[in-house]
Amino acid sequence: MATANTSRLARTMLVPSVAALFVWMIVPLALTLWYSFQTYNLLNPINSGFAGWTNYYYFLTDPSFFQAFGNTLILTISVLAITVIGGTLLGMLLDQPIFGQGIVRILVISPFFVMPTVAALVWKNMLLDPNYGIFAWITTRFGIAPIPWLESYPLFSVIVIVSWEWLPFATLILLTALQSLDEERKEAAEMDGANFISMFLYIVLPHLARAITVVILIETIFLLSVFAEILVTTSGGPGYASTNIAYLIYHQALLDYDVGGASAGGVIAVILANIVAIFLIRIVGKNLDA
Amino acid sequence: MARAVTPQRKLTFTILAWLVALLIFFPILWTLLTSFKTEGDAILFPPAFLPPHWTLENFFEVQSRSDYFKHFFNSVVIAGGSTLLALLVAVPGAWSMAFSPTRRTKDILMWMLSTKMMPAVGVLVPIYLIFKNLGLLDTLSGLTVILALIDLPIVIWMLYTYFKEIPVDILEASRMDGAVLWKEIVYVLLPMAVPGIASTMLLNIILAWNEAFWTLNLTAAKAAPLTAFIASYSSPEGLFWAKLSAASTLAIAPILLLGWFSQKQLVRGLTFGAVK
């Protein structure tokens, strides 16, 4: 009995959520857009006014932008490749009948619950430190001089740390998807003489397709704006070697106090993220109907 | 009929799985072990796996030197407060969309999800300036509101997928029995909605506890939660690995435990119900 009364009540109940998100989305974004066309530096507040496209021009032609853009792509794509491939393999391994499955599962997913600053600092110090770190110890055992990972391979180090954080997520999602795979279908395929590879290609992979898509797209949202890991390990350096777009904008805003320039960067980051978002929204939308 | 598994095959996979699992877990285990070492033992080379001299001193030091529990408390307030605030706004909204859907419900849900795609750096400047002008920088209330807003889409979505599964037929039955609307909600729907709300709460606390963009940018000494407090150890003023480990262990332990208990809900919440 959906009376006019209850439907009015239902609409009223929806108002706070919609209003909160609407304000949260529109107000800061409009301000970012506004600032991006202004000359506005907190260190020099007198010299201000309309800047036209100057902020965009400087942001987009700065070599550091190209490097940060490239780093963002390398970081995102590498971590996606490592976590999706690793997660699929690990998911399949954990799907096997093994002793102590529950504990193994808990061990594997644990890194996902470690806050980014802890993960980054533990890696930076106790694992990657060239003097006392575990990796230095391992390399010296093999007769190789310790490598100052964060100085010599900063972006690679950040990729390793971020992959460690996200591999558990991919594994957990893909394992959950694997467990819903029909046992009888696998049996039937085995009876027909399917070997491991054809089984993987024709039965497992198609079944995982949706879960893999979801993993890729959700990770992408987070990976495009990796921040804390870079801040506490390399501070974007040496030079701009491990600076991504998120860190570049942070640097411009809160360390250089260049409100106009950072806002132009912010607008560009939003545009880039939206290109990715369009795909995600479509796919999740499709799954909603299913 | 389950497939026959030879003991040999099971053993091989068991060994392989345990090896990989321990490798992945190693950084956490190492942090835990180092937190019980003395500072000298923490930087032994070659490293000592087990602490040569077990000590609890680091845990006391972390508290007495840097007022650890203040930051722990900040984390609790921010994670708990933002979760409650988000639920307060989201429960009626999700309820309305799940039980009285209209033609536009799907579009509204999609739009809410799309707000989650906005990268935080895109709005860092205005939020920072607004906070600065309103005196909200480094305050618990300011950060709580921001975290509630950034998690609101996930909370609404997760609640929506749970509420959707509550059979509406049961309402018809209670109406036949002559129940009025508020009784319907309190006695029939609410008990069925509680598990979903609890799961949502759990996931959101985990996400808010570990959030490390806004917490790092909007707080300083006073309102810093654990994420920001731990980051202060990155300054190279010498090696305090044992203390860093003790602080880290205390910071991640509660959430690790929560996470272990909520694996299923986590999958569902983080994939917006697309993988269950």
Of B220, B194, B206, the C-alpha closest to B260 is: B206
Other CB atoms within 10 Å distance of the CB of residue A64: 15
| pLDDT one-digit tens code per residue, A164-215 | 999 999 999 999 888 888 777 777 777 777 777 887 888 888 888 888 888 8
Contacts of B238 in chain A (CB under 8 A): none
pLDDT of B2 over the 60 cut: no
d(CA A36, CA A265): 8
Contacts of A86 in chain B (CB under 8 A): none
**In sequence order, what are the residues at sequence separation of 6 or more whose Cβ sits closer than 8 angstroms to the Cβ of residue A40?**
A48, A259, A260
Assigned CATH class of A72-240? mainly alpha
CA of A71 vs chain B CAs: smallest distance (Å): 16
pLDDT of residue A234: 86
Architecture label for domain B70-234: Orthogonal Bundle (1.10)
pLDDT of B1 over the 70 cut: no
Residue-averaged pLDDT of chain B: 84
CB pairs under 8 A between A and B: 313
Residue A38 parent element (H or E)? strand A38-39
Domain ranges of chain B: 7-57, 70-234
Percentage of chain A lying above the pLDDT 70 cut:
94
**In sequence order, what are the residues at sequence separation of 6 or more whose Cβ sits closer than 8 angstroms to the Cβ of residue B172?**
none
Average pLDDT value for residue range B125-135: 88
d(CA A198, CA A92): 15
pLDDT of B274 over the 80 cut: no
Closest residue, chain B, to A255 (C-alpha) = B217
ipTM above 0.90, yes or no: no
Domain ranges of chain A: 72-240
Average pLDDT value for residue range B185-196: 80
pLDDT of B22 over the 50 cut: yes
The residue type found at A74 is: I
| pLDDT one-digit tens code per residue, B100-109 | 888 888 888 8
Across the interface, whether the CB atoms of A112 and B259 are under 8 A apart is answered yes
Residue B231 parent element (H or E)? helix B226-231
User: What angle is formed at CA B276 by the lines to CA B149 and CA B202, rounded to 5 degrees?
Assistant: 40
pLDDT of A63 over the 70 cut: yes
Percentage of chain B lying above the pLDDT 90 cut:
18
Across the interface, whether the CB atoms of A250 and B233 are under 8 A apart is answered no
CB B226 within 8 A of CB A113: no
A85–chain B Cβ distance below 8 A for any pair: no
